[in-house]
């Protein structure tokens, strides 16, 4: 089998055995197919050398790749070659001697409590669209869902009596997240007054939780657009995204004294270190409050 064939086998392994998300698979495919193109159609895995990989990564940096993009690409390449070593196609990994680019951990930008309040109060609660949007934004802020998880929710995933939502996260892992009373109240209004009028007939309409006025599932890009529109109306001038609501959920919980492990479980992070970055944001808030309020701050 040539290099392109082994790339296909590896991507199939990631999809079937590791159940990676489509966006992650697409990123791996782009990087690995770029490697195959650089070597030619008939290239074999044995043709890939340390020198070749180094030249490829250096060329990408010259084209404008930052440290984060280069690190992601190297990670994808290493995963591929380790797979080949496990399959006994190669004796060693040609990428193992390449140094990983140093990537600084950027602190996530979060909304203030007041900005969240203004954002959630923006939709028109007298219209069907407004009631749906209020329910979606409240649920996202109340549970820290990723936008893909929010838009992919089915009716069965929400248990209003128990006050929990079951999110299908990365790697096909499902987790239960508590939902507060305020979000549940808005969800109840949407489920009783809005959804029955637009979600009927087709199978998708009968199962998906949040639907458009046409009865189809609301997309990630559709939710992103409505969130940005509401942010402008609320007077939030800095860039906003659905993920910023997730960042705000985690940071506000930690500022309120929540346990780090509990926040990790709600966010669906496999590594506690990923969650720990929010503690730095919360500590920055404490420091700023001290500097602003203490007589000798």
What pLDDT does 119 receive? 95
Residue 108 DSSP class: P
Closest CA to 190 of 214, 205, 209: 209
d(CA 52, CA 28): 18
d(CA 166, CA 163): 10
Is 247 catalytic? The answer is: no
Stated as kind and residue range, the H or E segment containing 156 is none
**Residues present in the chain in total:** 297
What phi and psi, each to the nearest 5 degrees, are found at residue 208? Answer: -70, 145
d(CA 238, CA 54): 38
Cβ 90 vs Cβ 46: under 8 Å? yes
The residue annotated as part of the active site, out of 132, 186, 195, 246, is: 246
What pLDDT does 287 receive? 44
The residue annotated as part of the active site, out of 44, 72, 109, 243, is: 243
Q: Which CATH class is domain 113-293?
A: mainly alpha
Name the one residue in this structure whose structure tokens are 């939709």. 123
68 or 136, higher pLDDT: 136
The domain ranges of the chain are: 3-86, 113-293
The residue annotated as part of the active site, out of 132, 146, 186, 255, is: 146
d(CA 196, CA 287): 48
Residue 194 DSSP class: I
What pLDDT does 293 receive? 45
**Structure confidence by residue, pLDDT tens digits, 248-281:** 888 888 888 888 888 888 888 777 766 666 666 5
Say whether pLDDT at 282 is over 60. no
Is 72 catalytic? The answer is: no
Say whether pLDDT at 286 is over 50. no
Is 243 catalytic? The answer is: yes
40 or 220, higher pLDDT: 220
Q: What angle do CA 214, 244, 272 make, to 5 degrees?
A: 120
84 or 19, higher pLDDT: 84
Q: 8 vs 71, 110, 123, CA distance in Å? A: 22, 39, 46
- Over residues 114-129, the mean pLDDT reads 94
Q: Which CATH class is domain 3-86?
A: mainly alpha
Is 285 catalytic? The answer is: no
Percent pLDDT > 70 in the chain is 86
Is 278 catalytic? The answer is: yes
Residues 6+ apart with CB under 8 A from 142: 179, 180, 182, 183, 249
Strand 158-159's sheet: what is its strand order? Answer: 158-159, 164-168, 174-178
Positive or negative, the CA dihedral 239, 242, 243, 247 is: positive
Rg (CA), the chain: 23
d(CA 48, CA 186): 56
Encoded tokens for 102:
């140093």
What pLDDT does 296 receive? 47
Give 3-state DSSP helix, strand, coil % of the chain, rounded to 5: 60, 5, 35
What is the pTM (predicted TM-score) of this model? 0.63
Is 230 catalytic? The answer is: no
Encoded tokens for 14:
């990631």
The residue annotated as part of the active site, out of 10, 141, 230, 278, is: 278
Say whether pLDDT at 241 is over 80. yes
* Mean model confidence pLDDT for the chain: 82
- Over residues 58-69, the mean pLDDT reads 75
End-to-end CA distance of the chain: 67
Pick the range with the lowest mean pLDDT from 26-40, 184-198, 283-297.
283-297
What pLDDT does 157 receive? 94
Closest CA to 45 of 96, 100, 7: 7
Pick the range with the lowest mean pLDDT from 11-20, 97-106, 145-154, 256-265.
97-106
């Amino acid at each position: 089998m040539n290099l392109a064939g082994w790339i296909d086998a590896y991507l199939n392994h990631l999809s079937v055995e590791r159940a990676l998300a489509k966006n992650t698979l697409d990123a791996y495919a782009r990087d690995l197919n770029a490697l195959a193109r650089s070597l030619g159609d008939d290239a074999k895995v044995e043709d890939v050398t340390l020198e070749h990989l180094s030249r490829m990564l250096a060329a990408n940096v010259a084209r404008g790749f930052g440290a984060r993009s280069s690190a992601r690409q190297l990670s994808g390449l290493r995963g591929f070659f380790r797979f080949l070593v496990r399959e006994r196609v190669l004796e060693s990994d040609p990428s193992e001697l390449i140094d990983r680019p140093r990537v600084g951990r950027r602190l996530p930008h979060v909304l203030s409590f007041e900005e969240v309040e203004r954002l959630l109060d923006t939709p028109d609660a007298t219209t069907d669209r407004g009631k749906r949007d209020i329910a979606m934004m409240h649920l996202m802020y109340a549970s820290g869902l990723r936008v893909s998880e929010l838009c992919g929710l089915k009716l069965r995933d929400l248990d209003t009596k128990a006050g929990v939502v079951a999110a299908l996260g990365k790697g096909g892992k499902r987790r239960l997240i508590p939902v507060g009373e305020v979000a549940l109240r808005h969800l109840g209004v949407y489920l009783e007054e809005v959804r029955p009028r637009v979600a009927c007939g087709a199978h998708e309409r009968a199962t998906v939780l949040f639907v458009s006025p046409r009865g189809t599932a609301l997309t990630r890009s559709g939710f992103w657009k409505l969130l940005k529109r509401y942010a402008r109306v609320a007077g939030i001038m800095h860039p906003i995204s659905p993920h910023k609501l997730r960042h705000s959920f985690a940071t506000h919980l930690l500022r309120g004294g929540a346990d780090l492990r509990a926040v990790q479980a709600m966010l669906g992070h496999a590594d506690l270190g990923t969650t720990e970055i929010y503690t730095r944001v919360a500590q920055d808030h404490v420091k700023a409050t001290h500097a602003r309020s203490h007589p000798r701050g």
